[in-house]
Copies of this chain bind each other. A is one copy, B any other.
């Protein structure tokens, strides 16, 4: 039993096993070095499909895979399930909850978390969607609201139980709202005896003038139209003023009573970025050098959603998985080159350049929008493109096949495969 953590080989510590951290571990090859990757979960999560778990379309294991399994054929990589407590960049040391790691290179891939525009008190009433726990709790609460409706005599309470508000019209909010509209429509029509399906509503609230504001205006308008056809009430140019238990107040004075309020409006970087002693943007993201290292710390890199990086055209690199993966590959090449060059006589490092492969969002069964280079797709064609891309990206054979089976089944039967209320108990409120 070798204890790789104490070997004298150059040691690269990777914090986080999302798309950035995992890609680094997969892409980095060097005979002299060893890698330790730390994540607080035991699984890598296919985050783009997390909304499918929250809306009962897929089961949790279908979009998650143990990090150890993915990296099982990389003997130089050690996987630790542990929590990062402090970062000491001066001593090149990371303190975890159960041990201390010393590094030669550090790759920060800590991702983002839900942020409430300076209103942390809203978190209790409007959960965000970042982890499997989040998704399973949302699924339980949404399904429970329908169940409660079946035995609720008070019409006002029924209206509240049957209303879901989604705050934020970015890709996550649009995909959630579309999937929820399909869920309510299909589930209520077939399975419930005493509910009037016409009372169910899904309201999507977006502060800017259109949903999907990162896409071309005609595609964004098309997405709004597709959402409306699914039955979603789309409210653009509308801001949330306050959120309390089952109650959203808008800036126009309107109040919406909704049993479920879901937050998809904003993300911020991990709070660990505050320990780095470098400049951060408003969302707590690290302003990295062109090579993705921290200013003044050439052995420390940051990738993915925790990074603020301007492209040559002046636009920021978007917080999407292809960007995190490209950045991780860039950092892997830099470190490989430096470990291979004699006497560490370092070459000037290349600057990172983001290659935009396109952007897409799914809205529902046969409904999506996609923008790939100059090509714009809507409706069924966009949906097929979205399906193919997501299946190709899914990590591991089983997931691809199981997810394809699940989707085929849902498509032809209009059923949802994962409408299971579990865990039974709500978690303690934060």
Interface, chain A (partner B; CB < 8 A): 1-5, 41-43, 59-62, 64, 66, 68-69, 72, 75, 78-82, 96, 98-99, 131-133, 136, 143-144, 147-148, 150-152, 187, 190-196, 397-398, 401-402, 405-406, 409, 413, 415, 417-425, 427-428
Q: How far is the CB of A93 from chain B (nearest CB, A)?
A: 16
- Interface contact A423-B42, CB-CB below 8 Å: no
Contact of A43 among B192, B421, B428 (CB under 8 A): B421
Residue numbers in B under 8 Å from A66 (CB-CB):
191, 419-420
List, sorted by A's number, 22 A–B pairs whose CB atoms are closer than 8 Å. A1-B196, A42-B421, A43-B419, A43-B421, A43-B422, A61-B419, A64-B420, A66-B419, A68-B187, A75-B193, A79-B150, A80-B150, A82-B151, A133-B424, A133-B425, A398-B405, A401-B405, A402-B405, A402-B417, A405-B405, A425-B427, A428-B428
Contact of A151 among B59, B99, B405, B428 (CB under 8 A): B99
- Interface contact B409-A398, CB-CB below 8 Å: yes
Known: A59-B62, A196-B1. A151 touches B80 (CB 8 A): yes
Residue numbers in B under 8 Å from A397 (CB-CB):
409, 413
In Å, the complex CA distance between A62 and B425 comes to 21
Residue numbers in B under 8 Å from A190 (CB-CB):
69, 72
In Å, the complex CA distance between A192 and B77 comes to 10
Residue numbers in B under 8 Å from A427 (CB-CB):
423, 425
Residue numbers in B under 8 Å from A424 (CB-CB):
41, 131, 133
Residue numbers in B under 8 Å from A195 (CB-CB):
1
Known: A401-B409, A417-B61, A422-B132. A147 touches B81 (CB 8 A): yes
Which partner residue on chain B sits nearest A97 by CB separation? Answer: B151
Q: How far is the CB of A255 from chain B (nearest CB, A)?
A: 26
Q: How far is the CB of A197 from chain B (nearest CB, A)?
A: 10
Number of identical monomers bound together in the oligomeric complex: 2
Known: A78-B193, A424-B131. A147 touches B42 (CB 8 A): yes
- Interface contact A42-B402, CB-CB below 8 Å: no
In Å, the complex CA distance between A43 and B419 comes to 8
In Å, the complex CA distance between A232 and B94 comes to 39
Contact of A81 among B3, B132, B136, B150 (CB under 8 A): B150
In Å, the complex CA distance between A196 and B423 comes to 34
Q: How far is the CB of A266 from chain B (nearest CB, A)?
A: 23
Known: A99-B151, A150-B81, A405-B402. A194 touches B419 (CB 8 A): no
Known: A193-B78, A194-B78. A398 touches B417 (CB 8 A): yes
- Interface contact A43-B420, CB-CB below 8 Å: yes
Residue numbers in B under 8 Å from A147 (CB-CB):
42, 81
Residue numbers in B under 8 Å from A78 (CB-CB):
150, 193-194
Residue numbers in B under 8 Å from A143 (CB-CB):
42
Residue numbers in B under 8 Å from A68 (CB-CB):
187, 191-192
Which partner residue on chain B sits nearest A45 by CB separation? Answer: B420
Which partner residue on chain B sits nearest A190 by CB separation? Answer: B72
Q: How far is the CB of A77 from chain B (nearest CB, A)?
A: 8
Contact of A60 among B59, B96, B401 (CB under 8 A): B59
